[in-house]
Amino acid sequence: MQRMPWRLLLNWSDSISTGSRAGGTLEIRHGIPVSPGIVISEALVLDSEELRIPQRFVEDQYIDSEIDRFKQAVDDSNKVLDLEIKRLGEEIEIHARILSVHRDLASDPVLHKEIEQSIRDNSFTAEHALSRVMNRYVRKLQDLNSPILSERIHDLQDVEKLLLSTLLGKRIEGLSNLQDEVVVIAHNLTPAQTAKLDPKMVKGFATDVGGKTSHTAIMGRALGIPAVVGLDDISTSVVGGDQIIIDGYRGAVIINPDEGQIAEYRARALKSEKLSRRLKSQAKLPAETIDGHRVEVHANIELPSEVESAVECGAAGIGLYRTEFIHLQAPSSGEEVHFENYRSVLESLGGLPLTIRTLDLGGDKLPEGGLEEENPFLGCRSIRWCLANPGPFRAQIRAILRAGELGPVRLMLPMITSISELDLSLQIIDEVADELRREEIPFDENIPIGVMVEVPSLALIASHVAGRVSYLSVGTNDLVQYTLAVDRGNEHVASLYDPMHPAVLYLISQLVRTGQEHGVRVSLCGEMASESIYLPLLVGLGLREISVSPQLIPEVKQVIRSLIDYEVRELSARCLQMSDGEQITRELHRWAVDHFPEVVDRF
């Protein structure tokens, strides 16, 4: 493969000012706030190898040695590439040609000149100068929107990784073994990566993609770390070691903030922390309106380790235990692994109720060996996956029924779309119960069984469902998605994802009414209940049980304690007459400013 394309590319981009953002120019980005809080820390830009740049600047007397380090890294990297090219030979010619391109790019004198100039002009370390220069090339190619040139982005990134690993002595720092506090910057975080985030070291994260209710956002809230998603190209705008402010209340990310902004955000963070401490000190108080209407506030959790925090924050129980990670972390995990997880949670709850959702695999939580589907959120997901894979489903049901002997447990079936689907699921539960009886294994004979109402088809036939189950739980994350035909994890249509859309509110209000008519409890466990300004409306609609992320419970309970039932019923009635979601949101915001301004002020 010829060198000329890279020479042309580098000559073309030589017109880019080498001083652009060189000194760490301030830049403000706005995305979707998904987990509240404010953090100021250095960036770890995450890629497949998780290389971390530990130092950005050197003293002037070491500049020449930094340039020598860079040149040596190029020589060492090229030796590695030459050996690999020789080894491949003609056996795998296309791979050898790709490596030849990488060698030519790493050796290009134009690239060397720009990196060396960046080291001299800014006292950058070799690693930091390399990343800044390569990032400028990547961003320029991205801006061209050329399919041909966009393929060269991967070559640039591969060469950067190679040179960085050589400079760093191949020191690779993963999410699970960080040595310093950081904020993670990434294109995206998979559920597995998010599960590895240690909140003691990872103080926040920001991603190019994602939405308010994407799984990554839910995990951010579960871990209690500030997060902003949907930032488009933040992963190529930030270099490892940059100082970053993440504002998880307002969705702002500030790259290399000035002293004034740092002081401003530290003051805001301090004020917010004081309010959070005060709210947490009152967390054990009941969530009861001024005129005596009690609302149970439960916690949503993914991991047993979250239970302690939920109890400390005043949870009335666990309203949603997402069990997918038990399966994702150990796909062959069977009944006993599930049972031990449930036992651990129940012991930590000390008699408080636990609602266990059966496996909601598929969508953005693809199991090992799962189908690669064009539209996984409309494919073999959740209860469909369970019915198609009865082995893991039956093993989990056995564990849940047995756990019912250890404490108050409720079983919840997700993504039910029809009566036939529900009846088949209930039949399997009956069969598993019969098996346990024959084996003389103790289990809860009267375990409450409920369904998550997440699709309009089930919401519209709720009166037929109510006679078959013990309770209904409104899963607003998916109910909004499927009602409005908006991918909840797609930042490009994030503005269309509107929990206050009149159609969504109509479905929720009808579900509450159906529950009242049939004597079936209706709860809400979606992220809608996490938004303080929505709470008066939800309470006014008649909801008396909600479930949110643990760290949000003190604030939610405080807001509920500020409400008067007849006032919020009047508020909800007004909102149901409105035809536009934005109009409803404005009305709720005005109402919140009048009734709990201290909470609203943070957003």
Residues annotated as catalytic are 215, 525
Do the bridges between strand 202-207 and strand 227-229 make them parallel or antiparallel, or are there none, so unpaired? parallel
DSSP 3-state assignment of 243? strand
Going edge to edge, which strands form the sheet with 27-30?
A: 27-30, 252-255, 243-247, 38-45, 182-186, 202-207, 227-229, 32-35
Hey, what are 250's tokens?
């307002």
- Report the C-alpha gap between 377 and 178 in whole angstroms: 34
DSSP 3-state assignment of 27? strand
- Residues 6 or more apart whose Cβ sits within 8 Å of residue 20: 136
Q: Which helix (H) or strand (E) holds 255?
A: strand 252-255
Hey, what are 34's tokens?
């998904």
- Report the C-alpha gap between 280 and 199 in whole angstroms: 19
- Report the C-alpha gap between 601 and 532 in whole angstroms: 11
- Residues 6 or more apart whose Cβ sits within 8 Å of residue 599: 275, 532, 555, 558, 559, 592
DSSP 3-state assignment of 413? strand
DSSP 3-state assignment of 80? helix
- Report the C-alpha gap between 537 and 509 in whole angstroms: 10
- Report the C-alpha gap between 181 and 348 in whole angstroms: 29
- What distance, in Å, lies between the first and last C-alpha atoms of the chain? 54
Our measurement of the distance from residue 192's CA atom to the centroid of its chain's CA atoms, rounded to an integer in Å, reads 11
The greatest distance separating any two alpha carbons of the chain, rounded to the nearest whole angstrom, comes to 82
CA angle, corner 450, sides to 444 and 452, nearest 5?
Answer: 145
Hey, what are 94's tokens?
């296309």
Output DSSP code: residue 167: H
- Residues 6 or more apart whose Cβ sits within 8 Å of residue 341: 304, 323, 326
Hey, what are 150's tokens?
């966009």
- Report the C-alpha gap between 68 and 144 in whole angstroms: 34
